[in-house]
Amino acid sequence: MSGDQAKAGSAWAPFQSTVFRWLWMATLASNIGTWINDTTSGWMMTSLSASPLLVSLVQTAGSLPILALALVAGALADIVDRRRYLIITQSWTLIIASVLSVTTWMHLLTPELLLLLTLGLGIGSAMSMPAMSSTTPEVVPAAQLPAAVAMTSIGFNASRAIGPAIGGLILLSLGPAIAYALNALSFLAVIFVLLWWKREPTKSDLPAEQFFGALRAGLRYVANSSNFRGVLLRAVLFFLFATATWSLLPLYVRVELKAGPAIYGVMLGAAGLGAIVGGLLLPTLRRWLGRERQVLAASVLYALTMLSMAYLRNAIFAGAAMLIIGACWIAVLSALQVSAQTSVPAWVRARALSMYITAFSAGLVVGSAGWGWVASHWGIQPALAAAALGLVLSSVITANISLKGKDPDDLVPSAHWPLPIVSDELAQERGPALVTVNYSVRPECRAEFLQALHVLGRARRRDGAIFWGIFQDAEHANDYVETFMVASWLEHLRQHERVSRDAQRLQWTVATFLSEGHAPVVRHYIGGQRA
């Protein structure tokens, strides 16, 4: 490995980017403010109401919007200017946090108002997550993306480790209104950095996508991307089983360790410290193992540690186990998120990441409820043991699913499709548009041609085709017609902008099986003509 490569792979390399450095520090401050807010809200609800249901609904109100709105947020982040969109979402959370502080200071806060404002903060967080996640590839070179994702995770875990402690101190010494005010100020840090960032918007001569069309395009891309579907499958299975540790940890500390909230805080702090140390060691781990084996090794080690916690009930051992679990957690999450980032092109990245976030949240919600149910019926020990077994089995079964993503050059628009020549001026909204491509294939290459063309067909569907098919001439067996349809002429013009170098290479492969002197013949047909 050259010196430049080693430098690019360093854990600290992303901080060479000024934008990443300032965004990372601002996000760290914002995350600390969020943990201060969460700590304060949990305590405030216990002061405002003795109802266990209302206390538990504080957490639900903050997390439910992620499941409900992540896909919406992803579509919006891809079709509007991402920097301005983030400024709006961060301003929303600033306003909600300020209202929370003022109403608390004026003694107007009620349980219902606290839940409503917490829901508002959750909406702001849910609407900003896909856009914020998809900015990372814009501000760091591709070689530094794994380290950048790891450093982002380190920042989150650092805030989780110190935020609740700071929140408790502020709550005790200065009161809840000041704690909420500090959270509001933390959003200002992100807004200032976003205002300073001079982002180059994506240039296009075509009008922006409409919301529902963009949402369908994102779902269609993911449905036809085997790389991204593999990432989602491995993510859902990992979160489904691994979340047993986090959901059962309070009960584990109280019932198995016979300890109180102080030890519970130590356990969470140990996991956060493990995540920080693990994140700093990730560049070395990636060089040794590669992404797939990194996820497999970390998942198995996570499962074995979780299993040992079920049977060895000692506070010191449990603290050490949580250190390992924190390190394994960040090793898996970092690899999965980098794979998700590098499996999709820029035009659909926020939409794809919103689906990853939804899968992450769904796995946590379903896993938490499921393992809580298992523990309530059969006990904590069987629940942890079953989760560990499930994690090992699912990790081994899915170990062959690739997490390499794609080469960044493969996802760059190739611009190799010439603009179609039309006889009349076409209204862009007319449709559907049908494209046919005629091929004359060498007889001995028909099987290889069809195999390559079906791979190309998946790329057509990813980039916008709502129908794709291949037909053989009944009279001339070596002649084929490929057809694909898009919703409108405008959507076909978007295909011209989106077609990638990866698809270009697939077309070159198909061309190698054609008869000499017989280039593909492309024709365009447009529907929607009025009588």
Of residues 152 and 127, more confidence is placed in 127
Cα 14 to chain centroid distance, Å, stands at 19
Identity of residue 212: F
pLDDT one-digit tens code per residue, 449-480: 999 999 999 999 988 899 999 999 999 999 99
d(CA 285, CA 59) in angstroms, rounded, equals 35
Range picked from 2-6, 7-11, 122-126 for highest mean pLDDT = 122-126
Confidence of residue 397 (pLDDT cuts 50, 70, 90): very high
Number of helices (H) and strands (E) in the chain: give both, helices first: 17, 4
Residue 466: count of CB within 10 angstroms of its CB: 14
Q: Is the pLDDT at 5 greater than 50, yes or no?
A: no
Asked if 182 and 94 count as a contact pair (C-beta separation under 8 A), the reply is no
Query: How many Å apart are CA 36 and CA 96, to the nearest integer?
Result: 15
Mean of the pLDDT values across residues 415-434?
Answer: 80
Rounded CA-CA distance 187/34 in Å is: 9
- CA max distance for the chain: 87
The dihedral over CA atoms of 59, 63, 64, 66, expressed in degrees to the nearest 10, equals 180
Tell me which DSSP letter residue 500 carries: B
Cα 273 to Cα 157: distance, rounded to the nearest angstrom: 8
Q: What average pLDDT score do residues 381-400 get?
A: 92
- State both tokens at 119: 């829901």
**pLDDT confidence of 36, banded at 50, 70, 90?**
confident
Q: How confident is the model at residue 55 (pLDDT cuts 50, 70, 90)?
A: low
Please tell me the least confidently modeled range out of 17-21, 271-275, 457-461, 479-483: 271-275
pLDDT category of residue 406 using cuts at 50, 70 and 90: confident
The one-character DSSP state at 64 is H
Helix intervals (H) in 110-225? 111-139, 145-173, 176-196, 211-223
Considering only CA atoms, which of 437, 343, 359, 438 is closest in space to residue 142? 343
SS3 223: helix
Hey, how many other C-beta atoms are within 10 angstroms of the C-beta on 276?
19
Q: For 302-320, give one letter per residue: b (16+ CB within 10 A) or e.
A: bbbbbbbbbeeeeeeebbb
Which carries the bigger pLDDT value, residue 511 or residue 53? 511
- Structurally, at CATH architecture level, domain 413-526 sits in 2-Layer Sandwich (3.30)
Q: What is the per-residue pLDDT for 173? A: 84
CATH number for region 8-198? 1.20.1250.20
Helix (H) or strand (E) holding 472: strand 467-472
Confidence of residue 152 (pLDDT cuts 50, 70, 90): confident
25 has a pLDDT exceeding 90: yes
* CA dist., res. 531 & res. 529, Å (int): 7
* Mean pLDDT value of segment 315-336: 89
Lowest mean pLDDT of 76-90, 284-298, 474-488, name the range. 284-298
Highest-scoring range by mean pLDDT, 30-44, 258-272, 331-345, 480-494: 480-494
Q: What is the pLDDT of residue 439?
A: 96
Give me the pLDDT at residue 51, please: 67
The average pLDDT across 99-106 equals: 94
- Which secondary-structure segment (H or E) carries 484? strand 479-486
Lowest-confidence range among 355-359, 367-371, 470-474?
A: 367-371
Percent of the residues in the chain that have a pLDDT greater than 70, as a whole number: 95
When pLDDT is cut at 50, 70 and 90, the band that residue 9 belongs to is low
> Looking at the whole model, is its pTM more than 0.85?
no
Q: Residue 523: helix, strand or coil by DSSP?
A: strand
**pLDDT, position 127:** 93
Does pLDDT of 2 surpass 60? no
424, burial (CB in 10 Å: exposed 0-12, middle 13-18, buried 19+): exposed
pLDDT for 530 equals 59
Q: Does residue 204 carry a pLDDT above 80?
A: no
Q: What is the pLDDT of residue 67?
A: 83
Question: In this predicted model, what pLDDT tens digit does every residue of 222-258 receive, in sequence order?
Answer: 888 888 999 999 999 998 899 888 878 877 887 788 8
Please compute the mean of the pLDDT values over residues 126-147 and round it to a whole number: 87
Point out the least confidently predicted range of 94-108, 214-228, 405-419: 405-419
Crossing angle, helix 226-251 and helix 291-311, to 10 degrees?
A: 20
Q: How far apart are CA 270 and CA 262, in angstroms?
A: 12
- Provide mean pLDDT across the span 499-513: 91
- Return the higher-pLDDT residue of 266 and 95: 95
Q: What angle do CA 526, 530, 531 make, to 5 degrees?
A: 120
Mean pLDDT score, 70-93: 92
State which CATH number among 3.40.720.10, 3.50.50.60, 1.20.1250.20, 3.40.50.970 fits the domain covering 209-409: 1.20.1250.20
Question: So where are the chain's domains?
Answer: 8-198, 209-409, 413-526
Separation between Cα atoms, residue 399 and residue 227, nearest integer Å:
14
For residues 40 and 180, the answer to whether their CB atoms sit within 8 Å is: yes
CA atoms within a 13 Å half-sphere pointing along the CA-CB vector of 129: 27
308 or 153, greater pLDDT:
308
CA end-to-end span of the chain, whole Å? 67
Mean model confidence pLDDT for the chain: 86
Of the listed ranges 235-249, 415-429, 509-523, the least confidently predicted one is 415-429
Q: Do domains 8-198 and 413-526 have the same CATH topology?
A: no
Neighbours of 262 (CB within 10 A): 9
